[in-house]
Structure 1
Amino acid sequence: MLAMNKFKILGATVITIAASVVITSCGHDKRSTGWEYAPNMYEHIAYDPDQKNPNFKDGKTAQLPPAGTTPVGFVRFDYPNTKVGYEAASLEVKSPLTAADTAGAQVLFVHYCSPCHGTKGQGDGLVVQHGYPAPPSYSKGQSSRGGAMKDLTDGKIYHTITYGLNAMGSYASQLNPQERWKVVMYIHHLQTL
């Protein structure tokens, strides 16, 4: 008899808990997510990069690194963004990659360069079709700094990708040095077409 009472009490407890769960889960605001277990996971106290930040004089959260520092994983390119630096890079800078290291070069070129230069490097990308000036063809065009585009050296191409030239902006923040070298190698392939 005592065991039977225990089962009745246990059964009544289970039914009460199940009924209370069903009742409390229905009929409330359907947009409510319920209790917040760890609200700091989505209501963080850190500033987003595009938010104003009173901790800095200029009010920006996204700050440039201090002058003369090199981000982790990046290699310094000690040629200034000048015509002299461009010419010096042309003479002194050579690609550290071999033909075996260029896996993915075409994909990088298509993603970052083809919107302007076109998939074959002929200066016929999508932005040209929307009225922007066409960049010169890698195989037939003339460089704005003099000479044929097909004769551009490793250093000149790498310098241009790093700093940008004319309407082309810098890709140093989008492509790490090894990816830039892969693009250089692929441009050399396009110069022969």
Structure 2
Amino acid sequence: MLAMNKIKILGTTAIVIAASIVATSCKDRRSTGWEYAPNMYEHTAYDPDQPNSQFKDGKTAQVPPAGTIPVGFKKFDYPNTREGYDKASLEVASLIAQTPKHLAEGKVLFTTFCSPCHGTTGEGDGLVVKHGYPAPPSYSKGQSSRGGAMKDLTDGKIYHTITYGVNSMGSYASQIAPEDRWKIVMYVHQLQKL
């Protein structure tokens, strides 16, 4: 009787083990169930403002190496000087086609970024002027602080000004993508004709 019980116990154990193997092996045939170097799959992500012992200065957010260019960055090879402004005036022309779609997009961008100071029609009567800030010159009637009429500004001069700013106007290079700057230039030319 004892031998009979041993056979039943061993048989039941063998069936349970076989069933467990079959049940656990059906999940993912590509996985062995072993994970080599789990820290490569489940790493600790640092927030940019968190301290980080991996770097000498203890900061997570690091300055990129010198000469690094961001993906999609388009360099504007004219310095933020009067000479750069004048050179851009002569050499820089719009890089996008003059289409109704681009003009409409330029109007939206102008309304968003430029109209608070320049006004919706480019007359220099934006909302900030009503709060006591100095008015920028009108695109159709005003005179540029760098000399000449605002209605005669070229593509290069307008693009240079959007990129670097002038007088009270700051740079919009970080807020407006290069292609969108060209759309604004296109719309400003429409306002110069008013």
Deviation at residue 52 of structure 1 after TM alignment:
7.0
Matching residue of 1:169: 170
Between the aligned partners of 1:62 and 1:140, the Cα distance in structure 2 is 48
Matching residue of 1:88: 87
Counterparts of 1:23-102 in structure 2 under 5 Å?
45-48=45-48, 51=49, 55=55, 61=61, 63=63, 65-100=64-99, 102=102
Change (3 A) 1:157 1:69: farther
Between the aligned partners of 1:154 and 1:86, the Cα distance in structure 2 is 11
Deviation at residue 71 of structure 1 after TM alignment:
1.9
Change (3 A) 1:53 1:114: farther
Matching residue of 1:153: 154
Deviation at residue 77 of structure 1 after TM alignment:
0.3
Q: TM-score, with normalisation over the residues of structure 1?
A: 0.69
Among all aligned residue pairs of Structure 1 and Structure 2, give the percentage whose two residues are the same amino acid.
Answer: 65
Q: Could you report, residue by residue, the CA deviation over 1:94-141 in whole angstroms, capped at 9, with x for unpaired residues?
A: 001222251411100000000000000000111111111111000011
Matching residue of 2:187: 186
Which runs of no fewer than 5 residues in structure 1 stay unpaired?
Answer: 1-43
Contact 2:164 2:172 (C-alpha < 8 Å) held by counterparts: yes
Deviation at residue 62 of structure 1 after TM alignment:
7.3
Between the aligned partners of 2:62 and 2:130, the Cα distance in structure 1 is 34
Counterparts of 1:119-134 in structure 2 under 5 Å?
119-134=120-135
Matching residue of 1:27: none
Matched letter for residue 141 of structure 1: G
Deviation at residue 45 of structure 1 after TM alignment:
4.9
Between the aligned partners of 1:62 and 1:148, the Cα distance in structure 2 is 45
Between the aligned partners of 2:172 and 2:184, the Cα distance in structure 1 is 11
Matched letter for residue 83 of structure 2: V
Deviation at residue 150 of structure 1 after TM alignment:
0.3
Q: How many residues align?
A: 147
Q: Which consecutive segments of 4 or more residues in structure 1 shift more than 3 A?
A: 51-63, 65-69
Larger radius of gyration, structure 1 or 2? 2
Deviation at residue 73 of structure 1 after TM alignment:
1.2
Contact 2:129 2:135 (C-alpha < 8 Å) held by counterparts: yes
Deviation at residue 162 of structure 1 after TM alignment:
0.4
Matching residue of 1:36: none
Q: TM-score, with normalisation over the residues of structure 2?
A: 0.68
Change (3 A) 1:60 1:180: farther
SS of the counterpart of 1:136? coil
Matching residue of 1:138: 139
